[in-house]
Structure 1
Amino acid sequence: MNTTGKFRFLNQTSRVVQQNEDGFYTLYKMDCPDGKGDMTIYQVFPGIELFLANFDSTRCTFEHEPYVNTMQINYCQEGRVGWQLNSGACMYLGAGDLSIHMMDNCTSSTMSFPLKRYSGVGVVIDLDKVAADPPEILRDTDIDVNEFKRKFCEDDRYLVMPARDEIEHIFSKLYSLPNCMQKPCFKLKVQELLLFLWMIDVNKEKQREQYLSPQVEVIKEIHKLLVSDLRQRPTIEELSKEYLINTATLKSTFKGVYGQPIATYMKEYRIRQAAILLRRNNDTISGIAKQVGYENQSKFATAFKKIMNVSPTEYRLQHQIESQDIINSL
Structure 2
Amino acid sequence: MELNRKSIIENAYNGYIFSEKKNVDNAKVYRFRNETGTGEMRCYDLLEGIQLSYNNLNMGTTHQKITPKEGILQIDHCLEGCYEFKLENNERAFIGKGDLSVLELGKVPFENSCIPMKKYVGLSLFIDMSIAQKSISKYFPYGNIDLFEMRDKVCKNGAALIIRSRHEINHIIGELYRVDERIQLPYSIIKTIELLLFLSLVESKDTHKLPSFSEPVYEATQECYKALMENPFDRYSISELAKKYAISESSLKRCFAYITGNSIGSFIKKNLS
Please indicate the TM-score interval, normalised by the length of the shorter structure.
0.7 to 0.9
The correspondence of residues 248-267 of structure 1 with structure 2, limited to 5 A, is 248-267=250-269
Q: Distance in 2 between the 1:170 and 1:64 partners?
A: 32
From the CA coordinates, give the structure whose radius of gyration is larger: 1
The AA in structure 1 aligned to 2:113 is T
Residue of structure 1 in register with 2:155 after alignment = 153
Q: Do residues 91 (structure 1) and 94 (structure 2) align?
A: yes
Residue of structure 1 in register with 2:22 after alignment = 18
Is the 1:35–1:57 Cα contact (8 Å) retained in structure 2? yes
Larger relative contact order (Cα-Cα within 8 Å, sequence gap ≥ 6):
2
CA-CA distance at 1:250 after TM superposition: 1.8
Give 3-state SS (helix, strand or coil) of 1:200's partner.
Answer: coil
Q: Go from structure 1 to structure 2 and tell me whether the alpha carbon gap of 1:139 and 1:50 turns closer, same or farther (over 3 Å shift).
A: same
Match of 1:195 among 189, 194, 197: 197
Is the 1:42–1:51 Cα contact (8 Å) retained in structure 2? yes
CA-CA distance at 1:25 after TM superposition: 2.8
CA-CA distance at 1:240 after TM superposition: 3.8
Listed as ranges, the gaps of 5+ residues in structure 2 are none
Is the 1:84–1:106 Cα contact (8 Å) retained in structure 2? no
Is the 2:116–2:259 Cα contact (8 Å) retained in structure 1? no
The AA in structure 2 aligned to 1:247 is E
The AA in structure 2 aligned to 1:224 is K
Q: Deviations over 1:153-183 (max 9, x none)?
A: 1223222223233222222233344544222
The root-mean-square deviation of aligned C-alpha atoms, in Å, is 2.9
Match of 1:65 among 67, 75, 81: 67
Residue of structure 1 in register with 2:58 after alignment = 56
Q: Distance in 2 between the 1:216 and 1:263 partners?
A: 19
Q: Deviations over 1:130-155 (max 9, x none)?
A: 23443545422333210122111122
The AA in structure 1 aligned to 2:129 is L
Structure holding more helix per residue: 1
Is the 1:93–1:160 Cα contact (8 Å) retained in structure 2? no
CA-CA distance at 1:210 after TM superposition: 2.4
Structure holding more strand per residue: 2
Identical pairs, percent: 24
Q: Distance in 1 between the 2:181 and 2:266 partners?
A: 40
Give 3-state SS (helix, strand or coil) of 1:99's partner.
Answer: strand
Residue of structure 2 in register with 1:294 after alignment = none
Q: Go from structure 1 to structure 2 and tell me whether the alpha carbon gap of 1:108 and 1:186 turns closer, same or farther (over 3 Å shift).
A: farther
Is the 1:66–1:107 Cα contact (8 Å) retained in structure 2? no
Q: Do residues 110 (structure 1) and 113 (structure 2) align?
A: yes
Residue of structure 1 in register with 2:172 after alignment = 170
Give 3-state SS (helix, strand or coil) of 1:40's partner.
Answer: strand
Is the 2:232–2:271 Cα contact (8 Å) retained in structure 1? no
TM-score (norm 1): 0.68
CA-CA distance at 1:194 after TM superposition: 0.8
Q: Deviations over 1:6-56 (max 9, x none)?
A: 3125344x32343158xx531022125444321112222222111001123
The correspondence of residues 1-330 of structure 1 with structure 2, limited to 5 A, is 4-8=6-10, 9=13, 10-12=15-17, 14-20=18-24, 25-77=27-79, 79-84=80-85, 86=87, 88-94=91-97, 96-104=98-106, 105=108, 109-114=112-117, 116-134=118-136, 136-203=138-205, 205=206, 207=208, 210-212=211-213, 214=215, 215-237=217-239, 239-271=241-273
Give 3-state SS (helix, strand or coil) of 2:103's partner.
Answer: strand
CA-CA distance at 1:112 after TM superposition: 1.2
Listed as ranges, the gaps of 5+ residues in structure 1 are 272-330
Q: Distance in 1 between the 2:152 and 2:261 partners?
A: 29
Is the 1:251–1:262 Cα contact (8 Å) retained in structure 2? yes
TM-score (norm 2): 0.81
Q: Go from structure 1 to structure 2 and tell me whether the alpha carbon gap of 1:113 and 1:127 turns closer, same or farther (over 3 Å shift).
A: same
Q: Distance in 2 between the 1:155 and 1:176 partners?
A: 35
Q: Distance in 1 between the 2:214 and 2:67 partners?
A: 22
